[in-house]
């Protein structure tokens, strides 16, 4: 089979890539690694496309493992979605690595990096095609170890070692929870094959089902970066190499989402609305807390790390809504919620990779990624700025870019909770909807700050003043990712049916007819029994425009309702793009016409009466976000340092500086109390080390006496 051959070719390429770094010489090492990584990504894109849009399948048996079943590999369309997103990110990141890794040549071993990079890629693919728990967990451990070593690649830096250790420790704790969940799930079958687990899921008791859900959800939530298990993300991203940071945020966290979906929607589907409500609340809170901390950050990679927490929260909220709708007998809306979650996962991976690669280009060109020290680099780095702006508009969820489509679908799906019968569940959805809406507003504020303070205005450092445009090695992956952001934004009616193919086997209902009405096909309209008035009204609005030239069902996305209210919500980013283009063209023509009729004079901008506007008198990223910090002080609780005021002129003062130490609320409420308790116990235990042999002998006797008394009490 072609899919078997392609997967075999991929793993062979990864093996070649792991060895090539030690064989290639000098400056060719990074180029060879980038070429093999890019080719491997193209293979994964090809095989996942075959699985998604064709009738291809993949299944392979490896070898038996004791009495636990046979190790198997298989890929369905849900796997294919994650595989495609993985390839879509690894391709531009590999291209970028060919240039970026040159900064490490001579300091660290690029051959060692190549081994880890290709091992990570191979382990990710193995996770997504594993069809039994043993294969899955082995691949998961390989991925965790490779991720840790890549984060700690610059091992001479103490912060890299600390961040890598925290990430590995938290990942292993989550893995233990997942292993226990697998053990509980296999208790009735004695097999760890996924097919056996699916078959036995219905026979589990309610208590066991809850235990499996909680262990699997929070075990995988560690990797997804969800509250309260997200401390590793803001630590790992700033210290990891930038290309690794892009992989962490755009691929690795997706594996946590994959685990949640595979376990709780496929292998052991949850029953009742309780689990879905928990997932919905955790996702909504993660989204809000993530964007709050992102908004007050000035260091670009740390900001993007917190933004990853926000986006993983939005995706998780969509999964929670899908679980709830499915459990309460609304399979079509559940399918819509799952499509929204998968769509946002793909969108986030693309624009987050774009922003991380853009951050790497900015750091290389300006020498810093601190927004307070940047400014004005748009004139010096025009191409990088344009591509970065596309990423900013996408992550801010502004139409017609891709982030808008998936966030719009998620929010509108949450509003469909009006169809639920339970008042308490409606309240949960209402709270989650409010949190997600607030998150969306803060995201615009956050990334308006990023572009305005980083790329516009006056340079606030020598590096920003002398910034240099990135070379082709950085611009080409930026361009590729920017084009993907635009295409995913303006062509949702082509993306949704593909995602629907991955969702239908889980929800047992298709959502294409409910989301993408077939306005381009009269026969399909008759088959789906669309009301004539419904069709006529949308045709009057131009929904059929383009049907003569474009394939597909149409260019309008909507939520179908009942016959009396056939349209709940509707939008079309395709037509929006055309509308925006027409408006901009009209404005340009009018401006040109008026400028020719009336002479225009140009002069320096008025600077409030100052002879010269100092960079220190302009807004910084910290100043821009200070209102958010003040409003949400109860959540952020920053530890403020001393203020310093520097007088520059007779009547003006500049640079009121406030130093804030970030104290994360999750650390305060969840992690710090047990750590303090353990330190207290350790301090007490330390007093037992008195250095006298008689005392140690007494400890042994007391321990033996305790064991004897305990044994008598038990037996």
Which pLDDT tens digit goes with each residue over 299-327?
Answer: 899 999 999 999 999 999 999 999 999 98
Contact 409, 336 (CB under 8 A): yes
Q: How much is the pLDDT for 126? A: 95
Tokens found for residue 561: 């309702």
Q: How much is the pLDDT for 24? A: 72
Confidence of residue 524 (pLDDT cuts 50, 70, 90): very low
Answer yes or no: do 656 and 673 share one domain: no
d(CA 330, CA 328): 6
Domain end call among 643, 661, 679: 661
- Max alpha carbon distance in the chain (Å)? 104
Cis peptide leading into 414, omega within 30 of 0? no
Other beta carbons within 10 angstroms of residue 190's beta carbon come to 11
Cα-based angle 286, 287, 291 (whole degrees, multiple of 5):
115
Q: In this model, does residue 523 exceed pLDDT 60?
A: no
d(CA 562, CA 193): 42
Answer with the residue of higher pLDDT: 713 or 62: 62
DSSP string, 419-488: G-S-HHHHHHHHHHHHHHHHHHHHHHHHHHHHHHHHHSS---SHHHHT-----HHHHHHHHHHHHHHHHH
d(CA 292, CA 307): 9
Cis peptide leading into 400, omega within 30 of 0? yes
**Helix, strand, coil share (%) of the chain residues, nearest 5:** 70, 5, 25
Residue whose C-alpha is closest to residue 386's, from 300, 477, 479, 465: 479
Confidence of residue 67 (pLDDT cuts 50, 70, 90): low
Q: Give 201's DSSP letter.
A: G
**Mean pLDDT value across the chain:** 84
Answer yes or no: do 624 and 670 share one domain: no
* Number of domains the chain contains: 3
d(CA 672, CA 140): 28
Tokens found for residue 673: 């109390």
What's the whole-number mean pLDDT along residues 191-213? 84
Q: Per the confidence metrics, is the pTM higher than 0.85?
A: yes
Q: Give 74's DSSP letter.
A: E
Which residue is associated with the tokens 């009729």? 597
Confidence of residue 114 (pLDDT cuts 50, 70, 90): confident
Answer with the residue of higher pLDDT: 532 or 430: 430
Residue 644 in domain: yes
d(CA 666, CA 292): 13
Q: In this model, does residue 372 exceed pLDDT 70?
A: yes
Contact 404, 397 (CB under 8 A): yes
Tokens found for residue 456: 């516009």
Answer yes or no: do 646 and 677 share one domain: no
d(CA 139, CA 317): 27
Contact 665, 637 (CB under 8 A): yes
What's the whole-number mean pLDDT along residues 624-628? 78
SS (H, E, C) 561-613: CCCCCCEEEEECHHHHHHHHHHHHHHHHHHHHHHHHHCCCCCCCCCCCCCCCC
Answer with the residue of higher pLDDT: 530 or 151: 151
Residue whose C-alpha is closest to residue 304's, from 254, 260, 349, 258: 349
DSSP string, 496-523: HHHHHHHHHHHHSS--HHHHS--TT-HH
Q: How much is the pLDDT for 305? A: 92
Answer with the residue of higher pLDDT: 548 or 484: 484
Tokens found for residue 118: 């290709």
Q: In this model, does residue 608 exceed pLDDT 80?
A: no
Answer yes or no: do 518 and 565 share one domain: yes
Q: In this model, does residue 164 exceed pLDDT 50?
A: yes
Answer yes or no: do 656 and 694 share one domain: no
Over pLDDT 90: what percentage of the chain? Answer: 36
Residue 619 in domain: yes
Q: How much is the pLDDT for 138? A: 92
- Highest mean pLDDT out of 62-76, 377-391, 609-623: 377-391
C-alpha distances (whole Å) from 251 to each of 146, 297, 345, 352 are 13, 23, 10, 10
C-alpha distances (whole Å) from 588 to each of 79, 155, 591, 597 are 47, 53, 5, 14
The parent domain of residue 629 ranges over 615-661
Q: How much is the pLDDT for 562? A: 63
Residue 170 in domain: no
d(CA 254, CA 202): 27
Which pLDDT tens digit goes with each residue over 564-606?
Answer: 566 667 888 888 888 889 999 999 898 888 777 776 677 777 7
Residue 577 in domain: no
Which pLDDT tens digit goes with each residue over 226-258?
Answer: 988 888 888 888 888 999 999 999 999 999 999
Confidence of residue 273 (pLDDT cuts 50, 70, 90): confident
Residue 471 in domain: no
Q: How much is the pLDDT for 707? A: 82
Residue 349 in domain: no
C-alpha distances (whole Å) from 395 to each of 241, 381, 404 are 22, 21, 8
Q: How much is the pLDDT for 661? A: 60
Q: In this model, does residue 13 exceed pLDDT 90?
A: yes
Residue 214 in domain: no
d(CA 361, CA 359): 5
d(CA 123, CA 533): 53
Q: How much is the pLDDT for 638? A: 63
Which pLDDT tens digit goes with each residue over 641-676?
Answer: 545 555 555 555 555 555 556 666 777 777 777 778
The three-class DSSP label of residue 540 is helix
Residue 480 in domain: no
């Amino acid at each position: 089979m072609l899919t078997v051959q392609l997967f075999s070719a991929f793993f062979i390429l990864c093996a070649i890539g792991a060895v090539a770094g030690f064989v290639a010489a000098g400056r060719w090492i990074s180029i060879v690694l980038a070429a093999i990584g890019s080719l491997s990504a193209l293979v994964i894109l090809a095989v996942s496309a075959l699985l998604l849009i064709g009738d291809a399948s993949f299944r392979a048996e490896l070898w038996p493992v004791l009495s636990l079943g046979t190790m198997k590999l298989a890929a369905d369309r849900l796997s294919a979605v994650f595989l495609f997103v993985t390839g879509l990110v690894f391709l531009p990141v590999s291209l970028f690595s060919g240039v970026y890794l040159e900064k490490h040549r001579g300091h660290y071993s690029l051959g060692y990096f190549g081994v880890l990079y290709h091992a990570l890629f191979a382990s990710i693919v193995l996770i997504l095609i594993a069809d039994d728990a043993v294969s899955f967990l082995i691949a998961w451990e390989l991925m965790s170890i490779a991720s840790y070593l890549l984060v700690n690649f610059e091992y001479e830096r103490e912060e890299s070692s600390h961040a890598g250790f925290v990430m590995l420790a938290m990942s292993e704790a989550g893995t233990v929870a997942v292993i226990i969940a697998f053990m509980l799930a296999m208790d009735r079958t004695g097999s760890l094959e996924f097919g056996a687990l699916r078959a036995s899921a219905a026979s589990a008791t309610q208590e066991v089902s809850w235990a499996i859900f909680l262990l699997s959800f929070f075990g995988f939530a560690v990797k997804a970066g969800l509250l309260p298990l997200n401390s590793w993300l803001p630590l790992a991203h700033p210290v990891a190499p930038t290309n690794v940071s892009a992989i962490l945020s755009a691929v690795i966290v997706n594996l946590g989402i994959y685990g949640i979906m595979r376990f709780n929607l496929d292998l052991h589907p949850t029953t009742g609305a309780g689990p879905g409500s928990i997932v919905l609340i955790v996702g909504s809170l993660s989204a809000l807390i993530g964007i709050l901390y992102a908004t007050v950050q000035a260091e670009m990679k740390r900001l993007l790390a917190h933004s990853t927490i926000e986006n993983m929260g939005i995706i998780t909220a969509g999964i929670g809504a899908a679980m709830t709708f499915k459990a309460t007998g609304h399979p079509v809306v559940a399918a819509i919620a799952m499509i929204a979650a998968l769509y946002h996962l793909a969108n986030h991976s693309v624009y987050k990779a774009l922003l991380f690669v853009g951050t790497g280009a900015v750091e290389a060109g300006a020498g810093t990624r601190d927004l307070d020290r940047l400014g004005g680099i748009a004139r010096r780095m025009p191409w990088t700025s344009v591509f970065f702006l596309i990423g900013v508009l996408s992550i801010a969820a502004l139409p017609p870019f891709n982030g808008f489509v998936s966030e719009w679908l998620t929010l509108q799906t949450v509003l469909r909770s009006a169809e639920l019968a339970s008042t308490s569940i409606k309240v949960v959805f209402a709270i989650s909807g409010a949190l997600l809406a607030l998150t969306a507003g803060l995201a615009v504020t956050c990334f308006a700050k990023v572009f305005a303070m980083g790329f516009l205005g006056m340079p606030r450092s020598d590096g920003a003043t002398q910034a240099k445009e990135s070379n082709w090695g950085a611009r080409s992956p930026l361009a590729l990712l920017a084009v993907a952001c635009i295409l995913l934004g303006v062509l949702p009616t082509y993306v949704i049916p593909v995602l629907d193919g991955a969702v239908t086997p889980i929800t047992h209902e298709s959502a294409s007819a409910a989301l993408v009405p077939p306005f381009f096909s009269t026969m399909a309209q008759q088959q789906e029994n669309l009301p004539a008035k419904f069709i006529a009204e949308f045709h009057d609005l131009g929904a059929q425009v383009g049907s003569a030239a474009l394939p597909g069902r149409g260019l309008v996305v909507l939520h179908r309702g009942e016959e009396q209210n056939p349209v709940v919500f509707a939008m079309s980013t395709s037509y929006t793009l055309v509308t925006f283009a027409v408006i901009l063209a009209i404005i340009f023509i009018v401006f040109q016409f008026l400028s020719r009729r009336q002479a225009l004079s140009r002069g320096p901008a008025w600077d409030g009466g100052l002879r010269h506007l100092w960079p220190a008198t302009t807004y910084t990223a910290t100043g821009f976000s200070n209102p958010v910090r003040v409003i949400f002080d109860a959540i952020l609780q920053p530890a403020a340092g001393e203020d310093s005021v520097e007088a520059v002129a007779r009547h003006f003062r500049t640079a009121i500086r406030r130093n804030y130490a970030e104290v994360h609320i999750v650390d305060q409420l969840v992690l710090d109390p047990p750590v303090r308790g353990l330190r207290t116990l350790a301090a007490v235990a330390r007093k037992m080390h008195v250095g006298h042999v008689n005392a140690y002998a007494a400890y042994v006797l007391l321990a033996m006496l305790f064991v004897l008394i305990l044994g008598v009490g038990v037996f």
